[in-house]
């Protein structure tokens, strides 16, 4: 089950984000898997990044994989609302669309994909865009996570 909590004053279509991530999980063979998505302010995500990754800066999305468990909980995804706003403006999409793209990115991390190298990033972007196409959502072939594309902001 995918849950979403928005700790910001920004309105998003939570059901869209949840449903798209749930269908991604089904597509990858994890129907019914547990994923918690939290939309938060930059200061809160900066604290998480500092505490868990020893990086004292905000980032666009963080993932916290759960240890293997019998109930199928994959983990948590934290999304920075500031980067949702920035990415949406840059790509000329809704904030819900951008938050959905970041949630897909985070879910792919929970499924074991990484983006530390260029080939890994290319694979993740391909998988993201494949899923966005399945959802009839706008695709950005040059999409990049904030740490890999600060020049666009």
Q: Where are the domains of the chain?
A: 2-152
**Main-chain phi, psi angles of 56, to 5 degrees:** -85, 70
pLDDT in tens, 86-145: 999 988 999 999 999 999 999 999 999 998 898 999 999 999 999 999 999 999 887 776
Which pTM value belongs to this model? 0.92
CATH architecture of 2-152: 3-Layer(aba) Sandwich (3.40)
Give pLDDT tens digits for 33-86.
999 999 999 999 999 999 999 999 989 999 999 998 878 899 999 999 999 999
Quote the tokens at residue 107: 């879910």
Buried b (16+ CB within 10 A) or exposed e, 38-74: bbbebebbbebbeeeeeeeebbbbbbbebeeeeeebb
For 148, counting Cβ atoms within 10 Å of its Cβ (0-12 exposed, 13-18 middle, 19+ buried), the class is: middle
15-29: per-residue pLDDT in tens? 999 999 999 999 999
Q: Residue 146 pLDDT more than 70?
A: no
């Amino acid at each position: 089950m995918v849950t979403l909590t928005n700790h910001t004053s920004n309105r998003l279509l939570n059901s869209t984000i949840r449903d798209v991530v749930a269908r991604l999980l089904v597509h990858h063979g994890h129907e019914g898997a547990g994923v918690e998505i939290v939309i938060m302010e930059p200061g809160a995500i900066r604290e998480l990044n500092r505490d868990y990754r020893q990086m004292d800066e905000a980032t666009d999305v963080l993932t916290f994989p759960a240890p293997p468990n019998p109930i199928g909980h994959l983990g948590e995804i934290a999304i920075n609302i500031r980067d949702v706003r920035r990415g949406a403006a840059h790509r000329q999409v809704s904030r819900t669309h951008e938050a959905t793209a970041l949630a897909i990115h985070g879910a792919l991390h929970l499924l074991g994909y990484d983006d530390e190298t260029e080939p890994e990033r290319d694979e993740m972007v391909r998988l993201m865009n494949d899923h966005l196409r399945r959802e009839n959502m706008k695709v950005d072939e040059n999409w990049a996570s904030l740490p890999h594309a600060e020049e666009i902001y």
